[in-house]
Structure 1
């Protein structure tokens, strides 16, 4: 079943991408520079 290997590679790539993005944004958040994105909470 050659499609199974292709599927496994896709899962590994997806999980790696997610882990890298979570790590990147965690480091960015804790570095103190802040986000350039609005947090969705309206200002009073």
Structure 2
């Protein structure tokens, strides 16, 4: 388990991603799905 705010640093190291908001998992996906999930991540992370 790695908790990291710097997504660009963590992305190449991870097999699976979880977005946690207010202590709840609001999104989870595998590294294989990263490209298709980028629009969702941009919305959730405000980037």
Calculate the TM-score normalised by the size of structure 2: 0.22
Tell me which protein shows more helix as a share of its residues.
1
The structure whose RCO (Cα within 8 Å, separation 6+) is larger is 2
Task: Find the structure with the greater CA-based Rg.
Answer: 1
Tell me which protein shows more strand as a share of its residues.
2
Calculate the TM-score normalised by the size of structure 1: 0.23
